[in-house]
């Protein structure tokens, strides 16, 4: 009995110790995860293409620097000791040197200098010659609230010396005892430049292909349109009436400005003929004006479409409107004796002025006659768009369908 109690207490105590160890381990792991890490503001290193050159052989040395800059701190340095003209590599000499394009990733920037070095002739065979250390001077500037920077004290970063073993003989195929693998900043920049150029070229080729396709489609559509007969279309009566009002108003404006002439008389006569065709239900000819040809005698310009960008020319050959009940479709006719007689009188007056005028002087009452034409058009519009006329039209349509 006592042994069982002791064993139970021992098991409970062991479990408590395990739980405490697990929780403390979790706390330590969380503490480690939330700890910040530090980076040197400036760190540089170098690599060489071979550690065993021979006398007179050129080899490559890369010096790469990593700079960390934040919103509050930045590193400033002229890197004068890394310039090809001033870098210290004695007893080696610099054949050529250049700085590759900088690379920036977030707050970290990378700089790289590439040098071609060689050992001048001398009794160096079998010796270990060190590449001297490189000292880089820099400062860390602090940003103030006003956006200004305060320079800190001058700091020094040292790239340690590296030994180079000079060998007496080496095969022609050997680049070095430790060949460098991977690409440099310069080769990566060249490939990036090539990729950008190919990308831009592909965009231009794509745009050219799209433009060529659009031009081909438009040309094919025009050829197809030119090869088929034009489709006839009808104009609503409201469009014709509003165009007639607009035409007569323009004629009146030109008369007030320059007086009457043959073209204005022809335009008024054309309007009267179209009104006669409307009230007698006669056919009105419509010609598409998109081909570029202008207005001909006996035609009136009508603009249609949402933006009034399509032109067409309408005309009518209505010359005998008085009592014209014999031929033609009179289903939609609103003509009566009063309208027919008045229209015939207006048509006769302008026909005489247009074709049978005895002198070059226009009649003095021609402007008053134009006002009568405008008033007559207003009466026709009231009849065309009245409710009774719409009911009669619907009734006639229903009767014809029986």
pLDDT digits (tens, 9 = 90+) for 92-131: 999 999 998 888 888 899 999 999 998 888 778 788 888 8
Report the percentage of the chain scoring pLDDT > 70: 73
CB atoms within 10 A of CB 180: 15
Q: Is the pLDDT of residue 153 over 90?
A: no
Average pLDDT over residues 244-267: 92
Mean pLDDT of the chain: 78
pLDDT at residue 355 in the model: 86
pLDDT at residue 207 in the model: 92
Average pLDDT over residues 141-154: 83
Nearest to 69 by CA among 101, 20, 110: 110
pLDDT at residue 279 in the model: 85
Q: What is the pLDDT of residues 16-71, one digit of tens each?
A: 555 444 444 443 433 344 445 567 889 999 999 988 888 888 899 999 999 998 88
pLDDT at residue 15 in the model: 53
Q: Is the pLDDT of residue 158 over 60?
A: yes
pLDDT at residue 65 in the model: 94
pLDDT at residue 278 in the model: 86
Q: Is the pLDDT of residue 136 over 70?
A: yes
Confidence of residue 333 (pLDDT cuts 50, 70, 90): low
Q: Is the pLDDT of residue 228 over 60?
A: no
Nearest to 267 by CA among 238, 291, 243: 243
Average pLDDT over residues 206-224: 85
pLDDT at residue 172 in the model: 53
Contact 67, 42 (CB under 8 A): yes
Residue with tokens 């080899």: 59
pLDDT at residue 318 in the model: 64
Q: Is the pLDDT of residue 322 over 90?
A: no
Q: Is the pLDDT of residue 394 over 80?
A: no
Higher pLDDT, 64 or 280: 64
Higher pLDDT, 87 or 54: 87
pLDDT at residue 159 in the model: 92
Return the domain boundaries, the chain.
Answer: 42-192, 237-284+317-401
Mean pLDDT lowest for which of 255-259, 277-281, 356-360? 356-360
Report the percentage of the chain scoring pLDDT > 90: 24
pLDDT at residue 66 in the model: 93
Q: What is the pLDDT of residues 162-207, one digit of tens each?
A: 888 888 654 454 454 444 455 666 677 788 888 888 989 999 899 9
């Amino acid at each position: 009995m006592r042994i069982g109690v002791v064993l139970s207490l021992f098991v409970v105590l062991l479990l408590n110790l395990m739980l405490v160890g697990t929780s403390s381990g979790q706390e330590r792991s969380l503490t480690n995860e939330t700890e910040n890490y530090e980076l040197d503001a400036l760190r540089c290193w170098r690599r060489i293409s071979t550690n065993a050159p021979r006398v007179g052989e050129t080899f490559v040395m890369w010096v790469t620097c990593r700079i960390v800059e934040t919103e509050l701190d930045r590193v400033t340095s002229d890197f004068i000791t890394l310039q090809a003209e001033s870098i210290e590599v004695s007893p080696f000499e610099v054949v050529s040197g250049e700085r590759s394009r900088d690379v920036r990733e977030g707050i970290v920037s990378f700089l790289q200098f590439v040098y071609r070095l060689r050992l001048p002739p001398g009794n160096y065979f079998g010796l270990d010659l060190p590449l001297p250390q490189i000292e880089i001077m820099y400062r860390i500037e602090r940003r103030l609230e006003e956006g200004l920077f305060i320079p800190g004290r001058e700091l020094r970063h040292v790239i340690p010396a590296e030994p180079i073993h000079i060998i007496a003989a080496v095969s022609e195929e050997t680049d070095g005892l430790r060949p460098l693998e991977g690409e440099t900043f310069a080769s990566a920049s060249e490939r990036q430049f090539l990729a950008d150029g190919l990308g831009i070229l592909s965009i231009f080729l794509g745009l050219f292909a799209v433009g060529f396709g659009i031009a081909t489609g438009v040309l094919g559509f025009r050829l197809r349109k030119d090869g088929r007969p034009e489709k006839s279309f009808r104009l609503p009566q409201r469009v014709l009436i509003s165009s007639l009002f607009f035409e007569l108003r323009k004629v009146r404006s030109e008369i007030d400005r320059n007086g009457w002439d043959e073209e204005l008389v022809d335009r008024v006569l054309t309007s009267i003929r179209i009104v006669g065709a409307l009230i007698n239900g006669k056919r009105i000819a419509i010609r598409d004006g998109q081909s570029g040809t202008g207005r001909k005698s006996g035609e009136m310009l009508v603009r249609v479409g949402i933006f009034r960008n399509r032109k067409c020319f309408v005309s009518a050959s209505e010359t005998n409107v008085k009592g014209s009940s014999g031929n033609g479709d009179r289903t939609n006719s609103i003509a009566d004796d009063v309208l027919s007689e008045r229209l015939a009188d207006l048509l006769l007056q302008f026909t005489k002025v247009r074709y049978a005028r005895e002198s070059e002087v226009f009649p003095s009452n021609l402007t008053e006659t134009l006002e009568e034409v405008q008033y007559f058009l207003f009466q026709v519009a009231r009849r065309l768009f009245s409710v009774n006329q719409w009911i009669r039209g619907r009734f006639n349509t229903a009767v014809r369908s029986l």
